Each structure stands twice: as C-alpha cells, then as structure tokens.
Homo-oligomer: A and B are copies of this chain.
Amino acid sequence: MGEFDYIAWLRQRTAAAPGVRVGPGDDCAVLESSANRAWLVTTDMLLEGRHFILAEHGPRRVGRKAMAVNLSDIAAMGGKPFAAFVSVGLPVGAAESVGKELYLGMREVADTFETTIAGGDTNTWTGGLVVCVTVMGEPGPQGPILRHGAKPGDWLMVTGPLGGSILGKHLDFTPRVREALLLQENAALHAMIDVSDGLSADVFHICAESRCGAVLFAERIPISDAARQLADCMTPLEHALTDGEDFELAFAVDDAAGERLLRTQPIPGITLAHIGVFVEEVALFLEVAGTRRRITPRGFVHDFGQVQQS
C-alpha cells in the first residue's frame, strides 16, 4: 500500500465535520474557528521502545494513547478539542496492518471526544514505530486555564486516584475533557494541569508558574489499586506522588469553591479529592499526621527516566 492508497483509505473514513472546510488530500487542511478566536494547540510524539512496546501493546492501543495524551493536554487547559493531525513513521513490511490498526485506535478516542482527524503525513522507514499527533481545541467557558493563577490559600484538588499507571492506565486512560468542561460550570478554576510527570512534579509546575508553594496532605491523596499492587521498595503513597502518566487533572480553586465541589461532587463518575493547599513559600511540603516536611518535586521526568529534578 503506497501513501496515495493510504490517503484514499483515510479520506473515505473522514466524515464532513463542523469546522473542517478541507480535510485530508490537499496541501493543507482548512479549519474554521467559531466566534471564539483563541485556539489551543498541543503536540505529543510517541516512540517505540520509549513510550510503548509495539509487540506487547499492539498498534490499536498505541493509537488510542497517542490521541488521548493530546486530548489530556487540551483538557488541562479546560478546552474542547476539535481537530487532530497525525504523522506516522510506520515499520516497513508491516506498514499497512500497523497503519490501519493505529488509525482505528486513534479514531476510537477522537470520535468519543468529537475530534476530527483532519490531516497528517504517512511514511514508512526501517526504524521503530513513531506517532506524532497535534490537536487543536477551543478554550472552554472560562478561557484557557493556565498553570499560572494559583494563589496562597487556594485548595489543590484532583479528579481521581493516582499511581501505578504502568500496570495499564498509561495506555488505557480517559482524557478528562468532559470533566474539565463540567468543572468550569461549577467553580472558577485558577490553575490546572494534567498529571503526566507525576503528582508532586506537576503540582510543582503549577507552583513555579504561579510563584507560590503547596502543601500535600498525605492522608487525603487518593491512591489507585495499581499503586497498592506495585508497592515494593516504594510505598503506595510514594507511587501516587511520583508515578507519571495518571492523566488525572490537578487544579486550584479558592477555598469556598473547593468546599462546594467536595460536598456536591458535581462530576458524574468521578470523585473529586481535596489533597492540598497552596502557600506563600515557593516550595513543596508533605503533611503526614499533622507534621509538614519539605519534599523535592520528584516525579517522572519525560524521557530522562526517574531523576531528581531539583
């Protein structure tokens, strides 16, 4: 199958979609934004052997992850995704079967979140499978929610249990797009991030951009079953604090909004947890049984393994 056939195959599968005036098959796609003229754009590249094991995980799951990690970034800004562009380097010899399965995996996730694959670039080579997805979205009702904006006194909350994603969730997670939009109907979000580097590292990203610090309450952090299963030289709490790729949202709201969210739990299917508070001092603290100690924002540092960040 040459590139031309693959594009024909893609075009057959690309339905007319709102906002996509010209889809795959010309030199560029032509997109039209709604009245809201700000756009969110994010891109992520997944590499065989670095982010997935093709023989073990299979191309369809890889496709799902490649799309979902980008939608999670749109969610972290409180936005609504609408178009995706997909570039691939397919292994020569298995290009057709891998390419189709990969695409079907991406489509599963994209369709769930009303996102159109509007273009891309298809290649074969003798190297490992490479997938690069770029997603465009529109800001939600509160505009882009940045990492900047948390204030001392704000509550730190998360959308679900953390840790141990290596047992499967890192491939099969639900990007919190709907949750981020629903949250905006229920509270003013001061800052938000998706937990991809690890809770402590990502909370510290908010702190660094917001020029404040945070105290994490050890007893309130929801710990996933996977983190408990994994517990080895690290405790389940340590897994929850440092494992990457949970793809839950961590966000800052003022205390009144936080109390209301905690009491009313307005997001169907998930339990919001109050896991910390932002403070003046630019540092990260863990409070265990009423005692605060300073911790380093360790966590998974993208592509450079488990290292000490600071």
A residues whose Cβ falls under 8 Å from a Cβ of B: 2-4, 21-22, 25-34, 37-45, 47-51, 73-74, 76-77, 79, 83, 85-89, 118-128, 130, 132, 134, 136-137, 139, 144, 146-148, 192-194, 209, 301-304, 307, 309
Contact = CB atoms under 8 A, between A and B. Distances in A.
Contacts of A4: 301, 309
Which secondary structure dominates chain A's binding surface? strand
Nearest to A21: B38
B39 A30 contact: yes
A116 to B, nearest CB: 12
Contacts of A32: 37-39
A34 B33 CA distance: 11
Nearest to A74: B28
A112 B230 CA distance: 52
Contact of A29 (B27, B34, B41, B51): B41
A239 B61 CA distance: 43
A309 B309 CA distance: 52
A66 to B, nearest CB: 11
3 nearest A-B residue pairs (beta carbon): A27-B76, A132-B132, A45-B87
Contacts of A304: 2-3, 124
B123 A50 contact: yes
A44 B121 contact: yes
A30 B28 CA distance: 21
A174 to B, nearest CB: 17
A79 B22 CA distance: 14
Contacts of A21: 38, 144
A295 to B, nearest CB: 18
A306 B299 CA distance: 48
A147 B43 contact: no
Contacts of A88: 45
12 contacts: A2-B309, A3-B302, A3-B303, A26-B146, A26-B147, A27-B73, A30-B39, A31-B40, A41-B118, A43-B120, A44-B87, A49-B126
A120 to B, nearest CB: 6
A41 B85 contact: yes
